[in-house]
Amino acid sequence: MDAAEDIRRIALQEERLQFEAFSAREAWEIGLALKAAGEAGRLPIVVDIRLAAMKLLGFALPGAAPDNFDWARRKRNLVFRFHRSSYAIGRKLALDGKTLADLGALPERDYAAHGGSVPIFVTGIGCVGAVTVSGLPQRDDHRVVVDAMAEVLGRDLGDVALH
Condensed to tens digits (0 to 9), the pLDDT of residues 46-89 reads 999 999 889 999 999 999 999 999 999 999 999 999 999 999 99
- Whether residue 18 is contained in a domain is answered as yes
Q: Which amino acid is at 69?
A: F
- Whether residue 163 is contained in a domain is answered as no
66-82 and 86-96 helices cross at what angle (nearest 10)?
Answer: 80
User: Which residues lie across from 51 on neighbouring strands?
Assistant: 54, 129
- Whether residue 162 is contained in a domain is answered as no
> Looking at residue 56, which CATH number applies to its domain?
3.30.450.150
- Whether residue 125 is contained in a domain is answered as yes
Q: What are the helix and strand counts (H, E) for the chain? A: 5, 5
- Quote the domain boundaries for residue 99: 3-155
- Whether residue 161 is contained in a domain is answered as no
How far is residue 51's CA from residue 44's CA, in Å, rounded to a whole number? 24
Number of domains in the chain: 1
Task: Reduce the DSSP state of residue 58 to 3 states and report it.
Answer: strand
Condensed to tens digits (0 to 9), the pLDDT of residues 75-124 reads 999 999 999 999 999 999 999 999 998 988 889 999 999 999 999 999 99
Condensed to tens digits (0 to 9), the pLDDT of residues 131-152 reads 999 999 999 999 999 999 999 9
How far is residue 49's CA from residue 119's CA, in Å, rounded to a whole number? 10
